[in-house]
Amino acid sequence: MNSLFEYVLRLGDDSLILGHRLSEWCGHGPILEEDIAMTNISLDLVGQATSLLGYAGELEGKGRDADALAFLRFDRDYKNVLLVEQPNGDFGMTMLRQFFFDAYRKPLFEKLQHSTDKHLAAIAEKSLKETKYHLKHSSEWVIRLGDGTEESNARIQDSLNTLWRYTNELFFTDEVDAELVEKGIVPSLQEIQNEWNATVTAVLTEATLTIPTNNWKQEGGRKGLHSEHLGYILAELQYMQRAYPNMQW
Amino acid sequence: MVTENDIWGYLEEVADPEIPVLTVVDLGVIRAVRLENDQCFITITPTYSGCPAMKMIEEQIIEKLNEKGIPNVSVDLVLAPAWTTDWISESGKAKLLEYGIAPPENEVDKSVLFSEPTVVPCPKCGSRNTRMVSLFGSTACKAHYQCNECLEPYDYFKCLK
Protein backbone atom coordinates (compact mmCIF):
# COMPACT_ATOMS: atom_id res chain seq x y z
CA MET A 1 0.00 0.00 0.00
CA ASN A 2 1.10 3.56 -0.74
CA SER A 3 0.88 4.82 2.84
CA LEU A 4 1.67 8.46 2.20
CA PHE A 5 -1.03 8.61 -0.49
CA GLU A 6 -3.54 7.09 1.90
CA TYR A 7 -2.54 9.46 4.71
CA VAL A 8 -2.78 12.61 2.58
CA LEU A 9 -6.07 11.39 1.11
CA ARG A 10 -7.54 11.07 4.62
CA LEU A 11 -6.53 14.64 5.49
CA GLY A 12 -7.85 15.90 2.17
CA ASP A 13 -11.20 14.14 2.56
CA ASP A 14 -11.65 15.58 6.08
CA SER A 15 -11.17 19.09 4.67
CA LEU A 16 -13.36 18.49 1.63
CA ILE A 17 -16.35 17.03 3.45
CA LEU A 18 -16.29 19.50 6.34
CA GLY A 19 -15.83 22.36 3.88
CA HIS A 20 -18.86 21.15 1.96
CA ARG A 21 -20.93 20.77 5.14
CA LEU A 22 -20.11 24.32 6.21
CA SER A 23 -20.98 25.67 2.78
CA GLU A 24 -24.55 24.46 3.38
CA TRP A 25 -24.85 27.39 5.80
CA CYS A 26 -24.35 29.89 2.99
CA GLY A 27 -27.37 32.19 3.11
CA HIS A 28 -28.75 30.45 6.23
CA GLY A 29 -26.48 31.77 9.00
CA PRO A 30 -28.18 32.98 12.20
CA ILE A 31 -26.68 36.44 11.64
CA LEU A 32 -24.89 37.93 8.64
CA GLU A 33 -21.47 37.95 10.34
CA GLU A 34 -21.69 34.24 11.14
CA ASP A 35 -22.94 33.41 7.67
CA ILE A 36 -19.80 35.10 6.34
CA ALA A 37 -17.56 33.48 8.95
CA MET A 38 -18.78 29.94 8.18
CA THR A 39 -18.40 30.40 4.44
CA ASN A 40 -14.92 31.88 4.93
CA ILE A 41 -13.91 28.83 6.95
CA SER A 42 -15.53 26.60 4.35
CA LEU A 43 -13.46 28.30 1.66
CA ASP A 44 -10.24 27.74 3.63
CA LEU A 45 -11.12 24.06 4.04
CA VAL A 46 -11.96 23.56 0.37
CA GLY A 47 -8.69 25.32 -0.48
CA GLN A 48 -6.80 22.97 1.83
CA ALA A 49 -8.62 20.04 0.23
CA THR A 50 -7.45 21.22 -3.20
CA SER A 51 -3.82 21.25 -2.03
CA LEU A 52 -4.08 17.93 -0.19
CA LEU A 53 -6.02 16.01 -2.84
CA GLY A 54 -3.79 17.46 -5.55
CA TYR A 55 -0.76 16.11 -3.72
CA ALA A 56 -2.50 12.78 -3.04
CA GLY A 57 -3.09 12.46 -6.78
CA GLU A 58 0.62 13.02 -7.45
CA LEU A 59 1.59 10.44 -4.84
CA GLU A 60 -0.80 7.93 -6.32
CA GLY A 61 0.71 8.45 -9.75
CA LYS A 62 -2.34 7.35 -11.73
CA GLY A 63 -3.05 10.69 -13.32
CA ARG A 64 -5.89 11.70 -10.98
CA ASP A 65 -5.91 15.38 -9.99
CA ALA A 66 -7.72 17.07 -7.08
CA ASP A 67 -10.95 17.34 -9.06
CA ALA A 68 -10.90 13.69 -10.09
CA LEU A 69 -10.45 12.65 -6.47
CA ALA A 70 -13.11 15.03 -5.17
CA PHE A 71 -15.78 14.34 -7.76
CA LEU A 72 -15.22 10.90 -9.21
CA ARG A 73 -14.92 8.43 -6.35
CA PHE A 74 -17.54 6.21 -4.76
CA ASP A 75 -18.49 6.60 -1.09
CA ARG A 76 -16.36 3.69 0.11
CA ASP A 77 -13.28 5.38 -1.33
CA TYR A 78 -13.68 8.48 0.85
CA LYS A 79 -11.56 8.28 4.00
CA ASN A 80 -12.81 11.19 6.10
CA VAL A 81 -13.73 10.71 9.75
CA LEU A 82 -17.43 10.29 10.53
CA LEU A 83 -17.44 13.50 12.58
CA VAL A 84 -17.11 15.81 9.57
CA GLU A 85 -20.02 14.26 7.65
CA GLN A 86 -22.51 14.59 10.51
CA PRO A 87 -25.41 16.94 9.75
CA ASN A 88 -25.07 20.60 10.70
CA GLY A 89 -27.91 20.52 13.25
CA ASP A 90 -28.34 23.95 14.81
CA PHE A 91 -25.63 26.62 14.83
CA GLY A 92 -24.32 25.36 18.19
CA MET A 93 -23.89 21.83 16.89
CA THR A 94 -22.01 23.13 13.85
CA MET A 95 -19.69 25.15 16.09
CA LEU A 96 -19.09 22.20 18.42
CA ARG A 97 -18.27 19.87 15.51
CA GLN A 98 -15.92 22.55 14.17
CA PHE A 99 -14.30 22.97 17.57
CA PHE A 100 -13.59 19.23 17.94
CA PHE A 101 -12.06 19.26 14.48
CA ASP A 102 -10.02 22.48 14.86
CA ALA A 103 -8.65 21.34 18.23
CA TYR A 104 -7.28 18.26 16.44
CA ARG A 105 -6.07 19.99 13.27
CA LYS A 106 -4.09 22.75 14.99
CA PRO A 107 -1.61 20.53 16.86
CA LEU A 108 -1.49 18.16 13.88
CA PHE A 109 -0.47 20.93 11.46
CA GLU A 110 1.98 22.33 14.04
CA LYS A 111 3.81 19.01 13.89
CA LEU A 112 3.32 18.35 10.18
CA GLN A 113 4.84 21.71 9.18
CA HIS A 114 8.17 20.17 10.24
CA SER A 115 7.60 16.94 8.32
CA THR A 116 10.54 15.55 6.37
CA ASP A 117 8.14 15.41 3.43
CA LYS A 118 8.56 18.94 2.05
CA HIS A 119 5.30 19.08 0.12
CA LEU A 120 3.20 17.97 3.09
CA ALA A 121 5.12 20.38 5.35
CA ALA A 122 4.32 23.28 3.01
CA ILE A 123 0.58 22.49 2.99
CA ALA A 124 0.61 22.19 6.79
CA GLU A 125 2.45 25.48 7.30
CA LYS A 126 -0.05 27.27 5.08
CA SER A 127 -3.11 25.61 6.62
CA LEU A 128 -1.98 26.14 10.21
CA LYS A 129 -2.27 29.90 9.91
CA GLU A 130 -5.89 29.53 8.83
CA THR A 131 -6.69 26.85 11.40
CA LYS A 132 -5.65 29.13 14.28
CA TYR A 133 -8.38 31.59 13.27
CA HIS A 134 -10.90 28.75 12.96
CA LEU A 135 -10.12 27.38 16.42
CA LYS A 136 -10.37 30.78 18.05
CA HIS A 137 -13.76 31.31 16.45
CA SER A 138 -15.24 27.88 17.19
CA SER A 139 -13.99 27.61 20.77
CA GLU A 140 -15.30 31.05 21.68
CA TRP A 141 -18.75 30.10 20.39
CA VAL A 142 -18.76 26.83 22.36
CA ILE A 143 -18.04 28.81 25.53
CA ARG A 144 -20.52 31.57 24.70
CA LEU A 145 -23.36 29.10 24.05
CA GLY A 146 -22.49 26.66 26.84
CA ASP A 147 -22.13 29.41 29.41
CA GLY A 148 -25.01 31.40 27.89
CA THR A 149 -28.72 31.03 28.57
CA GLU A 150 -30.51 27.97 29.94
CA GLU A 151 -31.77 27.28 26.41
CA SER A 152 -28.39 27.63 24.67
CA ASN A 153 -26.72 25.51 27.34
CA ALA A 154 -29.29 22.72 27.05
CA ARG A 155 -29.07 22.68 23.26
CA ILE A 156 -25.31 22.57 22.99
CA GLN A 157 -25.17 19.95 25.75
CA ASP A 158 -27.49 17.83 23.59
CA SER A 159 -25.14 18.33 20.65
CA LEU A 160 -22.22 17.34 22.84
CA ASN A 161 -24.01 14.13 23.86
CA THR A 162 -24.62 13.36 20.18
CA LEU A 163 -21.20 14.23 18.74
CA TRP A 164 -18.98 12.89 21.51
CA ARG A 165 -19.09 9.34 20.13
CA TYR A 166 -17.40 10.51 16.90
CA THR A 167 -14.43 12.28 18.48
CA ASN A 168 -12.25 9.26 19.19
CA GLU A 169 -11.97 8.45 15.50
CA LEU A 170 -9.87 11.59 15.00
CA PHE A 171 -7.08 9.55 16.60
CA PHE A 172 -7.69 6.34 14.68
CA THR A 173 -4.41 4.69 13.76
CA ASP A 174 -3.55 1.68 11.64
CA GLU A 175 -0.62 0.41 9.58
CA VAL A 176 -0.69 3.57 7.44
CA ASP A 177 0.15 5.79 10.41
CA ALA A 178 2.50 3.25 11.96
CA GLU A 179 4.70 3.12 8.88
CA LEU A 180 4.85 6.90 8.44
CA VAL A 181 5.46 7.58 12.13
CA GLU A 182 8.32 5.10 12.10
CA LYS A 183 9.84 6.82 9.07
CA GLY A 184 9.51 10.15 10.90
CA ILE A 185 7.28 11.67 8.21
CA VAL A 186 4.21 12.26 10.42
CA PRO A 187 3.76 12.74 14.18
CA SER A 188 2.32 10.10 16.47
CA LEU A 189 -1.37 10.77 17.02
CA GLN A 190 -0.88 10.06 20.71
CA GLU A 191 0.84 13.44 21.10
CA ILE A 192 -1.93 15.15 19.19
CA GLN A 193 -4.58 13.43 21.29
CA ASN A 194 -2.98 14.62 24.54
CA GLU A 195 -3.12 18.21 23.33
CA TRP A 196 -6.67 17.74 22.05
CA ASN A 197 -7.77 16.38 25.44
CA ALA A 198 -6.26 19.37 27.22
CA THR A 199 -7.88 21.92 24.88
CA VAL A 200 -11.28 20.21 24.88
CA THR A 201 -11.37 19.75 28.65
CA ALA A 202 -10.42 23.39 29.23
CA VAL A 203 -12.99 24.80 26.80
CA LEU A 204 -15.87 22.50 27.79
CA THR A 205 -15.21 23.23 31.47
CA GLU A 206 -15.19 26.97 30.79
CA ALA A 207 -18.43 26.45 28.85
CA THR A 208 -19.96 24.74 31.93
CA LEU A 209 -20.73 21.67 29.83
CA THR A 210 -20.63 18.08 31.05
CA ILE A 211 -18.38 15.69 29.17
CA PRO A 212 -20.37 12.48 28.54
CA THR A 213 -19.29 9.52 30.61
CA ASN A 214 -20.51 7.05 28.02
CA ASN A 215 -17.32 6.14 26.25
CA TRP A 216 -18.83 4.08 23.45
CA LYS A 217 -17.22 5.29 20.27
CA GLN A 218 -18.15 5.05 16.61
CA GLU A 219 -15.58 4.72 13.85
CA GLY A 220 -15.25 3.47 10.29
CA GLY A 221 -14.67 6.51 8.08
CA ARG A 222 -10.90 6.00 7.82
CA LYS A 223 -11.64 2.59 6.28
CA GLY A 224 -14.35 3.91 3.99
CA LEU A 225 -17.29 2.74 6.11
CA HIS A 226 -19.50 5.80 6.47
CA SER A 227 -22.72 6.92 8.08
CA GLU A 228 -25.67 7.28 5.72
CA HIS A 229 -25.09 11.05 5.56
CA LEU A 230 -22.06 10.84 3.27
CA GLY A 231 -24.10 9.52 0.36
CA TYR A 232 -26.37 12.54 0.43
CA ILE A 233 -23.36 14.89 0.54
CA LEU A 234 -21.77 13.16 -2.44
CA ALA A 235 -25.03 13.21 -4.40
CA GLU A 236 -24.96 16.99 -4.23
CA LEU A 237 -21.19 17.46 -4.41
CA GLN A 238 -20.75 15.24 -7.45
CA TYR A 239 -23.93 16.05 -9.33
CA MET A 240 -22.44 18.35 -11.99
CA GLN A 241 -19.52 16.08 -12.87
CA ARG A 242 -21.75 13.02 -12.97
CA ALA A 243 -24.42 14.72 -15.07
CA TYR A 244 -22.03 16.53 -17.41
CA PRO A 245 -18.80 14.50 -17.42
CA ASN A 246 -15.61 16.60 -17.74
CA MET A 247 -17.52 19.88 -17.71
CA GLN A 248 -15.36 22.90 -16.87
CA TRP A 249 -16.45 25.85 -14.79
CA MET B 1 16.06 43.00 -24.72
CA VAL B 2 13.63 42.51 -21.85
CA THR B 3 15.16 42.09 -18.39
CA GLU B 4 13.77 40.59 -15.18
CA ASN B 5 13.54 44.13 -13.82
CA ASP B 6 11.30 45.08 -16.72
CA ILE B 7 9.06 42.13 -15.90
CA TRP B 8 8.75 43.30 -12.27
CA GLY B 9 7.76 46.69 -13.68
CA TYR B 10 5.07 45.14 -15.90
CA LEU B 11 3.70 43.17 -12.96
CA GLU B 12 3.17 46.49 -11.17
CA GLU B 13 0.40 46.99 -13.73
CA VAL B 14 -1.48 43.83 -12.67
CA ALA B 15 -4.10 44.65 -10.03
CA ASP B 16 -5.35 42.25 -7.37
CA PRO B 17 -8.86 41.21 -8.51
CA GLU B 18 -10.40 41.56 -5.03
CA ILE B 19 -8.59 44.71 -3.91
CA PRO B 20 -7.84 46.51 -7.19
CA VAL B 21 -6.01 49.33 -5.43
CA LEU B 22 -3.14 46.88 -4.79
CA THR B 23 -0.91 45.44 -7.46
CA VAL B 24 0.14 41.81 -7.21
CA VAL B 25 3.64 43.09 -6.40
CA ASP B 26 2.32 45.26 -3.52
CA LEU B 27 0.48 42.23 -2.16
CA GLY B 28 3.68 40.18 -2.06
CA VAL B 29 2.28 37.18 -3.92
CA ILE B 30 4.98 37.33 -6.63
CA ARG B 31 7.82 35.23 -5.24
CA ALA B 32 10.16 35.04 -8.21
CA VAL B 33 10.65 36.19 -11.77
CA ARG B 34 13.06 34.34 -14.03
CA LEU B 35 13.92 34.73 -17.69
CA GLU B 36 15.50 31.90 -19.60
CA ASN B 37 16.04 32.56 -23.28
CA ASP B 38 12.56 33.56 -24.46
CA GLN B 39 10.75 31.75 -21.67
CA CYS B 40 9.49 33.69 -18.65
CA PHE B 41 8.84 31.89 -15.34
CA ILE B 42 6.77 33.55 -12.63
CA THR B 43 6.31 32.04 -9.18
CA ILE B 44 3.27 33.07 -7.15
CA THR B 45 1.94 32.06 -3.73
CA PRO B 46 -1.66 32.24 -2.44
CA THR B 47 -2.66 34.51 0.43
CA TYR B 48 -5.12 31.89 1.76
CA SER B 49 -5.43 28.24 0.65
CA GLY B 50 -8.85 28.80 -0.83
CA CYS B 51 -8.24 32.26 -2.27
CA PRO B 52 -10.50 32.26 -5.35
CA ALA B 53 -8.47 35.06 -6.95
CA MET B 54 -5.35 32.97 -7.65
CA LYS B 55 -6.54 31.58 -10.97
CA MET B 56 -7.51 35.05 -12.12
CA ILE B 57 -4.17 36.51 -11.00
CA GLU B 58 -2.39 33.82 -13.00
CA GLU B 59 -4.42 34.60 -16.12
CA GLN B 60 -3.96 38.35 -15.73
CA ILE B 61 -0.18 37.97 -15.42
CA ILE B 62 -0.02 35.93 -18.61
CA GLU B 63 -2.28 38.38 -20.42
CA LYS B 64 -0.27 41.41 -19.28
CA LEU B 65 3.09 39.93 -20.27
CA ASN B 66 1.72 38.76 -23.63
CA GLU B 67 0.54 42.30 -24.19
CA LYS B 68 4.08 43.53 -23.42
CA GLY B 69 5.46 41.28 -26.13
CA ILE B 70 6.47 38.30 -23.99
CA PRO B 71 4.69 35.30 -25.51
CA ASN B 72 6.03 32.40 -23.43
CA VAL B 73 4.97 32.80 -19.83
CA SER B 74 4.49 30.03 -17.29
CA VAL B 75 3.10 30.72 -13.83
CA ASP B 76 3.89 28.31 -11.03
CA LEU B 77 2.08 28.21 -7.67
CA VAL B 78 4.11 27.45 -4.52
CA LEU B 79 2.86 27.07 -0.94
CA ALA B 80 6.13 27.43 0.97
CA PRO B 81 7.26 29.65 2.48
CA ALA B 82 3.69 30.50 3.40
CA TRP B 83 2.51 34.01 2.57
CA THR B 84 2.41 36.50 5.42
CA THR B 85 0.97 40.01 5.63
CA ASP B 86 4.56 41.15 6.33
CA TRP B 87 5.11 40.83 2.58
CA ILE B 88 2.65 43.61 1.76
CA SER B 89 4.83 46.53 0.70
CA GLU B 90 4.85 49.83 2.61
CA SER B 91 3.36 51.58 -0.40
CA GLY B 92 0.73 48.82 -0.52
CA LYS B 93 -0.21 49.50 3.12
CA ALA B 94 -0.52 53.21 2.37
CA LYS B 95 -2.75 52.46 -0.63
CA LEU B 96 -4.98 50.20 1.48
CA LEU B 97 -5.48 52.93 4.05
CA GLU B 98 -6.33 55.47 1.40
CA TYR B 99 -8.82 52.99 -0.11
CA GLY B 100 -10.58 52.66 3.27
CA ILE B 101 -9.16 49.28 4.33
CA ALA B 102 -7.14 49.30 7.54
CA PRO B 103 -3.73 47.68 6.86
CA PRO B 104 -2.45 44.81 9.07
CA GLU B 105 -1.27 45.78 12.55
CA ASN B 106 1.54 43.93 14.24
CA GLU B 107 -0.48 41.35 16.15
CA VAL B 108 0.23 38.64 18.67
CA ASP B 109 -0.69 34.99 18.11
CA LYS B 110 -4.39 34.54 17.39
CA SER B 111 -4.75 31.19 19.14
CA VAL B 112 -5.39 32.84 22.50
CA LEU B 113 -8.98 32.43 23.65
CA PHE B 114 -10.99 35.59 24.15
CA SER B 115 -7.92 37.73 23.75
CA GLU B 116 -8.67 41.43 23.40
CA PRO B 117 -9.15 42.16 19.70
CA THR B 118 -6.34 44.12 18.10
CA VAL B 119 -6.83 47.89 18.19
CA VAL B 120 -7.22 48.95 14.57
CA PRO B 121 -7.41 52.71 13.94
CA CYS B 122 -10.31 53.88 11.77
CA PRO B 123 -9.11 54.46 8.19
CA LYS B 124 -11.58 57.34 7.80
CA CYS B 125 -11.14 59.48 10.95
CA GLY B 126 -8.05 57.90 12.53
CA SER B 127 -9.72 57.26 15.91
CA ARG B 128 -8.45 54.31 17.93
CA ASN B 129 -11.86 53.98 19.60
CA THR B 130 -13.05 51.16 17.34
CA ARG B 131 -14.46 47.67 17.77
CA MET B 132 -14.15 44.36 16.00
CA VAL B 133 -17.52 43.24 14.62
CA SER B 134 -16.35 39.89 13.26
CA LEU B 135 -13.06 38.07 12.81
CA PHE B 136 -14.20 37.15 9.30
CA GLY B 137 -14.98 39.76 6.66
CA SER B 138 -15.89 40.13 3.00
CA THR B 139 -12.91 38.02 1.91
CA ALA B 140 -10.78 35.42 3.70
CA CYS B 141 -8.03 37.98 4.31
CA LYS B 142 -10.18 40.56 6.07
CA ALA B 143 -11.94 41.11 9.40
CA HIS B 144 -14.87 43.46 9.93
CA TYR B 145 -14.55 46.50 12.21
CA GLN B 146 -16.55 49.59 13.08
CA CYS B 147 -15.46 53.01 14.36
CA ASN B 148 -17.20 54.07 17.60
CA GLU B 149 -16.51 57.76 16.85
CA CYS B 150 -17.51 58.35 13.23
CA LEU B 151 -19.47 55.05 12.97
CA GLU B 152 -17.66 54.07 9.75
CA PRO B 153 -17.88 50.30 9.14
CA TYR B 154 -14.64 49.12 7.54
CA ASP B 155 -12.55 46.16 6.52
CA TYR B 156 -9.35 45.30 8.31
CA PHE B 157 -6.68 43.37 6.41
CA LYS B 158 -6.03 40.90 9.20
CA CYS B 159 -2.56 39.91 10.20
CA LEU B 160 -1.40 36.51 8.96
CA LYS B 161 1.91 35.19 10.28
User: What is the mean predicted confidence (pLDDT) over A164-193?
Assistant: 96
The answer to whether residue A228 scores a pLDDT higher than 70 is yes
Average pLDDT over residues A26-44: 95
Q: Is A130 on the interface with B (CB under 8 A)?
A: yes
- Kindly list the residues from chain B whose CB atom is less than 8 angstroms away from the CB atom of residue A203: 113
User: Which of A134, A82, A74 lies closest to A106 in space, CA to CA?
Assistant: A134
Q: Which of B160 and A83 is assigned the larger pLDDT?
A: A83
Strand B142-147 to B153-157 pairing: antiparallel
Q: Check: CB of residue B41 under 8 Å from CB of residue A36.
A: no
Residues 97-126 of chain A with CB under 8 A from chain B are: 106, 118, 121-123, 125-126
Which domains does chain A carry?
3-243 (1.20.1260.10)
pLDDT of residue B161: 78
pLDDT at position A150 over 60: yes
Residue with the larger pLDDT of the pair B86 and B108: B86
Task: Tell me whether residues A129 and B82 touch, CB distance under 8 A.
Answer: yes
Closest CA in chain A for residue B133 = A33
Of A85-94, A187-196, A200-209, B46-55, the poorest mean pLDDT is in B46-55
CA pair distance A183, A187, nearest whole angstrom: 10
Range in A156-160, A215-219, A223-227 the model is least confident about: A215-219
Mean pLDDT score of chain A = 96
pLDDT in tens, B26-80: 999 999 999 998 899 999 999 988 888 888 999 999 999 999 999 999 999 999 8
Q: Is A133 on the interface with B (CB under 8 A)?
A: yes
Nearest-CB residue to B134 (from A33, A51, A143): A33
Instruction: Give B111's pLDDT tier (boundaries 50, 70, 90).
Output: low
Tell me, what's the pLDDT at B110?
54
pLDDT at B116 over 80: no
Task: List CB contacts (< 8 A) between B59 and chain A.
Answer: none
B138 interface with A at CB cutoff 8 Å: yes
Please report the pLDDT score of residue B159 as a whole number: 85
Whether A47 and chain B come into contact, CB under 8 Å, resolves to yes
CB contact B34 to A (< 8 Å): no
Q: Can you tell me the mean pLDDT for A58-66?
A: 96
pLDDT at A50: 96
Q: Which of B109, B114, B139 shows the shortest C-beta gap to A140?
A: B114
Average pLDDT of the residues in A37-55: 97
pLDDT average, residue stretch B97-121: 80
Whether the predicted pLDDT of B138 surpasses 80? yes
Cα dihedral A165/A170/A173/A177 (nearest 10): 170
Residues of A in contact with B114 (CB under 8 A): 140, 143
User: Do residue B80 and residue A126 have CB atoms under 8 angstroms apart?
Assistant: yes
What is the CB neighbour count within 10 angstroms for residue B6?
14
Mean pLDDT of B91-111: 85
Q: Taking CB atoms and an 8 Å cutoff, what residues of chain A touch B47?
A: none
Residues in B closer than 8 angstroms to A121, CB to CB, are 80
**Sheet containing strand B153-157, strands side by side:** B101-102, B153-157, B142-147, B130-134
Residues of A in contact with B133 (CB under 8 A): 33
User: Average pLDDT for residues B88-100, to the nearest whole number?
Assistant: 94
pTM of the predicted protein model: 0.93
% pLDDT > 70, chain B:
96
A126 → chain B, closest CA residue: B82
- Cβ–Cβ under 8 Å, residues A58 and A2: no
Cβ of residue B20 closer than 8 Å to a chain A Cβ: no
Say what the pLDDT of residue B52 is. 83
Average pLDDT of the residues in A76-84: 98
